[in-house]
Amino acid sequence: MKIGVLCLQGAFIEHINILNSLGVETFEIRQKKDIQQKFDGIVLPGGESTTMGKLLRDLDIFDTLLEKIQNNMPVFGTCAGLLLLAKEIDNDHRRHLATFDIVAKRNAYGRQLGSFNAIEKFAGKEIPMTFIRAPYIEKVGENVTVLSIVDNKIVAARQGNQLVTAFHPELTDCYEVHKYFLNIVKQNI
């Protein structure tokens, strides 16, 4: 199994470290030639979604990435990655990949000072969650499975081979969310 991690901006090294500790081969996606190789899944990390969306286009990665996701490649988006995948962002006119049938609210918990930690259920298991200027999901489409709710807000969901979290599982010592994603990848290989 080989997982590409988008390394344009944001918290990508933490995802790489967790995946490597789980015995998964990873590589960094920084330019078009990187995404053209053969691999089994991709992680879109947290960071700043507007910057990441712009860089995807400027570096000519956007179309290839979109095609891979549309062709059922497993993808895991955290925080900004969730926004890149969201079909609609209710407080932002920009759309990015728009492959995940959700309506997200950008910076829903406020500025950096609104960041917080919680211990809540993800896919039935209690895990630690770190929220940093996090979005949440306001609405889900009919083929979307809600995996986590915190304070009556949807913060994790799955649609087919796509997984999103509003929180940062890569900033905790709990690997349950990454293992969940790797199971999606295994089922797709």
Residues near 58 by beta carbon (within 8 Å), at least 6 away in sequence: none
Task: Please report which helix (H) or strand (E) contains residue 180, including its range.
Answer: helix 176-188
* Active-site annotation holds for 7: no
* Active-site annotation holds for 88: no
Is the Cα dihedral 63, 68, 71, 74 positive or negative? negative
- Candidate list 14, 15, 96, 168, residue with the active-site label: 168
Residue recorded with tokens 């344009």? 8
Task: Please report which helix (H) or strand (E) contains residue 132, including its range.
Answer: none
Angle at the Cα of 101 from the Cα atoms of 51 and 155, rounded to 5 degrees: 70
- Candidate list 7, 14, 15, 79, residue with the active-site label: 79
Greatest alpha-carbon span in the chain: 42
- Candidate list 170, 174, 176, 178, residue with the active-site label: 170
Phi, psi of 168 (to 5 degrees): -110, 90
* Active-site annotation holds for 168: yes
Q: Which residues are catalytic?
A: 79, 168, 170
